Structure 1
Amino acid sequence: MPSNAVLVVIGGLPGTGKTTLSRLLAARIRAVHLRVDTIEQALVRSGLARHPVGPAGYVVGYALAEEHLRQGLTVIAESVNPLAVTRDSWRDVGVRAGVPVVEVEVICSDPAEHRHRVTSRSVDIPGLPLPDWQQVRRRDYEPWNREHIVLDTAGDEPEESLNSLLHQLDRLRLLARDGLPGTW
């Protein structure tokens, strides 16, 4: 039986709204939400790693995503996803599982709003160190090198950003009905 599973990869700098958007999307479409921050903090709590964790959190995320996708579940994979190699690895997970992959880069184009988000947010994963504004600004973050959805959350309420993303995902579904590959 063919699966309707999709891998939605959501990336972007800290404070852009990735987690909020991922949670809302997962609830709306009844998908699994895999958050690399949660995985990394679990590794730290286990005593197997210290911050920064390095690639281990992503590697665990890739394995979990592939397992869920093979079960026919849609997965929202959320992380900063700062490097082309991590983005390629998520795409490879979808290819191995035989499901479409949609990549979403979340940005906040208003520097003042972005800074306020970074400096005013609270930790939602006990023990997870949050970066300060200077760390976010200095973060290595390679430009995306292929077509993807860019979602600017500046000035939007979370539900508005979700509706914008759902609209863009719906457009991809229409393309799929026309037989174009690489979409859902």
Structure 2
Amino acid sequence: MLVVFSGLPGTGKSSLARLLAPHLHGAYIRIDSVEAAILETTAQTPGVTGYAAAYAIAADNVGLGLNVVADCVNPLAVTRQAWMDVADRAGVPLVNIEVLCSDQDEHRRRVTGRADEAALYRGHVSPAWAPPTWESVQASRQAFEPWAERRLVIDTAGQTVPEAFATLLADLHLSYGVPA
């Protein structure tokens, strides 16, 4: 199956995706990592290139019979359709998961406290790459197109990562038969 985590930075989607990938014995594809590598090697802003590379990597892996967990903002109908196309071509189910944090103060604290993200990538990506700012998250929020596709929605506000993961597993089990 192809599982696509979508949502604004700082909502907890990467934390959940990183837990789900090994649970499913699946490959993990993070758009931030793909885009950071493109930035490092080309010194150009990746734009759609990062997503296009991730679609190809996902297609290769689901084509091998592996589960794939993709971690991205995925704000546009066109990007959501592209993930659907990957799943359709491979003949695998697509599971869309939208992760949000409905408590704006908590969300802001998460985004502004992401020094761990920079440390995670230090030495692996271009010095030009940096975690998103609260201002850039707000700009992304404005550009986020409404969903038309079926999806699970996980609100991480007021939950620890283990609590949100337990909620996610329960929802995946009920909706898709994924082992809890």
Calculate the TM-score normalised by the size of structure 2: 0.89
Deviation per CA, 1:28-57: give whole Å up to 9, x if none.
22211100110111111112x423x20000
Which letter maps to 2:71?
E
Partner of 2:6: 11
CA RMSD of aligned residues (A): 1.3
Q: Does 1:105 align with 2:98?
A: yes
1:87 pairs with one of 71, 80, 101: 80
User: What's the secondary structure of 2:157's corresponding residue?
Assistant: coil
Which letter maps to 2:78?
V
User: What's the secondary structure of 2:165's corresponding residue?
Assistant: helix
Partner of 2:136: 135
Deviation per CA, 1:105-162: give whole Å up to 9, x if none.
0000000000000000122223432221121112211111122101000111111111
Distance in 2 between residues matched to 1:158 and 1:29, nearest whole Å: 17
Distance in 1 between residues matched to 2:149 and 2:84, nearest whole Å: 11
1:20 pairs with one of 15, 38, 45: 15
Distance in 2 between residues matched to 1:23 and 1:168, nearest whole Å: 17
2:168 pairs with one of 150, 165, 183: 165
User: What's the secondary structure of 1:76's corresponding residue?
Assistant: strand
User: What's the secondary structure of 1:16's corresponding residue?
Assistant: coil
User: What's the secondary structure of 2:131's corresponding residue?
Assistant: coil
- Runs (4 or more) in structure 1 with deviation over 4 Å come to none
Distance in 1 between residues matched to 2:57 and 2:95, nearest whole Å: 17
User: What's the secondary structure of 1:77's corresponding residue?
Assistant: strand
Partner of 1:125: 121
Identity between Structure 1 and Structure 2 (%):
44
Partner of 1:36: 31
Moved more, 111-120 or 135-144: 135-144
Which letter maps to 2:146?
P
Distance in 1 between residues matched to 2:160 and 2:146, nearest whole Å: 26
Which has the larger helix fraction? 2
Distance in 2 between residues matched to 1:160 and 1:19, nearest whole Å: 15
The alpha carbon displacement at 1:172 in A equals: 2.1
Calculate the TM-score normalised by the size of structure 1: 0.87
The number of residue pairs the alignment matches comes to 168
